[in-house]
Amino acid sequence: MASLRFDRIAALTGGTLVEGDAARRVGDFSLDSRTIAPGGLFFAVVARRDGHDFVAEAAARGAAGAVVSRNVPAPRPGFGLIRVSDTVIALQALAREVLAERPRTVVGITGSVGKTTTKDFAAALLAARCSVLKSEGNFNNRLGLALSLLRLEPGQDAAVLEMGMSAPGEIRALTAIAPPDVAVITNVSPVHLEFLKTLEAVAAAKAEILEGMKPRGAAVLNGDDPSTPRLAQAWAGRKITFGKTPGCDVRAESIRSLGYDGFDLEIGYGGERHALRFPFLAETAVFNLLAALGAALALDLPWKALQPALASLHPGAKRGLAHHLARGIVLIDDSYNSNPRAVEAALRSYGRLPARRRIAVLGDMLELGEGSATYHEQAGECAAREGWDILAAVGPLAGRTAAGARRAGRGGDAVLEFATSCEATPAILALLGEGDLVLVKGSRGLRTDIIVEAIMKADKET
């Protein structure tokens, strides 16, 4: 983690040290007064809440100082105050300078679906060569990415960073902080349409990662995605493609489902074919792996060096993690987030797993704009088409999801509607029986993780 003097931070952010010891060092940086580490530096960011109102709380929790953009009294003697014009810009400037202090390889990852899993895979693969920083959780916006970079350790020679967006210009701003040596675009799908309106606009926003890449960088693109030819036009340099399409530089072939044991497949990598056992239940994870392998190929990592990391990959929390519970019940927790492409892929992959009954709990998908109702109806149709025995739709658009399922042939007690996850929870618990498979998936705003937690708690009490 960066260790910087107050006067150095003031210089890098274009600010002025108005209180505190110029030689005092800090090595932890935070926007949250509740979690500030003792001796850390608090950035008083103005967002939904004004961080300046929490400087005193940060000091009470042991912060050494704060970066502020207006007059704030020092909460105690010796507390450092660095005055800047804009605390967000200051945070980004500091992160940019910390990254630029010495050469490091930056892998930037964006896309509509699978960014976080691809980031986790890529970081694990790159660790075969060097010590790697990866952005934490979904720290993928202008604040999260900057905070991640401030956690760079002196011995870390690579950073794998997720770059998210919901509007044009946001990824461009992120690449200004951390220009990638390798830029990965996992796919282009209908997400954030409430703000971007069209799939073409989504593709253009994702292409900003290529515009901000270093001159000798490599673009890693989905060879199966219809948007890729257009994206490729945004980068004249080296390109690596991944997918199932013949001719992709990194390919998945002979994919065979092993049920709850995952997949057997062959990977085309570096002109060779390699057998792989992959312990993930959703085929979408295969594409996340291919994207990560594309980044590894861009950095010329040999397959042999990647093998230990490949053997250690496993699903993350709330991203398709399977819990084998009492009475032979299998709970698939995919409650982290949701969008049309991810829902369809989940229903298709998990719907092929053996079970007495298959129960899909689908929370609403957010930020889909004018086509939202249609996308939810299509999700319901997909659940029926893929053979799910029971569909429980959750959220304000549950009626649309349910209508799609009924139109596709599901009806009666096989289709349930709930306004909220709290309302759905007791009904789902009462419904579950021996040998059932239950999938829980929804956008974070629907809090479908509440249902997962209740099922897990009930299992422990069994």
Q: Which domains does the chain have, with CATH numbers?
A: 4-92 (3.40.1390.10), 102-312 (3.40.1190.10), 321-461 (3.90.190.20)
pTM for this prediction: 0.89
Question: What is residue 378's predicted lDDT score, i.e. its pLDDT?
Answer: 96
Q: What is the DSSP string of 79-103?
A: -EEEE-S-HHHHHHHHHHHHHHTS-
- What pLDDT, on a 0 to 100 scale, did the predictor assign at position 212? 93
Residue 192 pLDDT greater than 70, yes or no: no
Query: What is the token pair recorded at 89?
Result: 């810009």
Grade residue 189 by pLDDT with cuts at 50, 70 and 90: confident
Q: Is the pLDDT of residue 194 over 70?
A: no
Per the structure block, which two tokens stand in for 345?
Answer: 């892929």
Residue 92 has pLDDT above 80, yes or no: yes
Q: How many CB atoms lie within 10 A of CB 387?
A: 12
Are 190 and 338 in contact, with CB atoms under 8 Å apart?
no
Q: At what angle do helices 303-312 and 115-126 cross, to 10 degrees?
A: 130
* All residues at 6 or more sequence positions from 382 whose CB lies less than 8 Å from its CB, including other chains: 343, 344, 347, 348, 404
Residue 312 confidence (pLDDT):
92
Provide the percentage of residues in the chain whose pLDDT is more than 70.
98
> Which pLDDT score is estimated for 191?
64
Residue 14: which region, alpha, beta or left (left: phi > 0; alpha: psi -120 to 50)? Answer: left
User: What secondary structure letter does DSSP report for 190?
Assistant: S
